[in-house]
């Protein structure tokens, strides 16, 4: 799968119309689910269990469920970040052109 498939990059699978209009809702939703230290801990558990292959051996059902929920929220967060990136692109390019720097 190519990383730069232009058609796919404009297609949001997880965001609602409201979240596309206001991507900050996704950030609020993530941190309503878990505070920053908890998100870090869940990400670490996710990585450790994935790398070691101990997913079903060391985590409780509740911990596994939390990691799945976090994954779903991270998918939405990536899409929200893309919305923000797209929104800021014209501004960034204008600012860089004004300063005499080429936008990449």
* pLDDT value for 58: 79
pTM over 0.75: no
Residue 79: how many other CB atoms lie within 10 Å: 19
**Predicted confidence (pLDDT) per residue in 57-66, tens digit:** 778 889 889 9
pLDDT tens string 5-31:
554 556 889 999 999 999 999 999 999
Rounded to whole angstroms, the Cα distance separating 39 from 46 reads: 10
């Amino acid at each position: 799968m190519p990383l730069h498939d232009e058609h796919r990059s404009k297609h949001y699978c997880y965001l609602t119309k409201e979240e596309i209009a206001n991507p900050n809702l996704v950030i609020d939703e993530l941190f309503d689910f878990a505070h920053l230290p908890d998100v870090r801990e869940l990400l670490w558990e996710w990585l450790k269990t994935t790398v070691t292959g101990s997913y079903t051996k060391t985590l409780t059902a509740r911990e596994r469920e939390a990691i799945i929920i976090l994954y779903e929220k991270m998918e939405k967060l990536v899409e929200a970040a893309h919305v923000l990136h797209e929104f800021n692109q014209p501004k960034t390019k204008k600012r860089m052109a004004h300063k005499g720097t080429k936008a990449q």
